[in-house]
Amino acid sequence: MDDINIDFIEKPELEEAIMIEGLPGVGNVGKLAVEHLIEEIEAEKCADIHSIYFPPQVLVDEDGLSKLVNNRLYYKKDVGEDDTDLLLLTGDYQGMTPQGQYKLTDEILSVAKKMGIDRLFSLGGYSKGEMVDIPEVLGAATTQKKVEEMEELDVKFSEEHPSSGIVGASGLLLGLGDKLYDISGVCLMGETSGYFVDPAAARVVLKTLMEYLKSEIGYERLDEKAEEVEELTNKVKDMDMGGMQQQESGSEDLNYIG
CA 195, CA 203: separation in Å to the nearest integer? 17
Average pLDDT of span 48-57 = 98
Sign of the C-alpha dihedral computed for residues 57, 61, 62 and 63 taken in this order: negative
pLDDT of 233: 78
The answer, yes or no, to whether residue 257 has pLDDT greater than 60, is no
Of 124 and 229, which is predicted with more confidence?
A: 124
Domains of the chain (ranges; CATH) run 4-219 (3.40.50.10900)
The answer, yes or no, to whether residue 61 has pLDDT greater than 50, is yes
- What percent of the chain is predicted at pLDDT more than 70? 91
Give the SS3 label for residue 120. strand
**Burial of 196 from C-beta contacts in 10 A (0-12 / 13-18 / 19+):** middle
8 Å CB contact between 125 and 22: no
Rg of the chain over Cα atoms, rounded to whole angstroms, equals 21
- pLDDT tens by residue, 6-40: 999 999 999 999 999 999 999 999 999 999 999 99
- pLDDT tens by residue, 63-121: 999 999 999 999 999 999 999 999 999 999 999 999 999 999 999 999 999 999 999 99
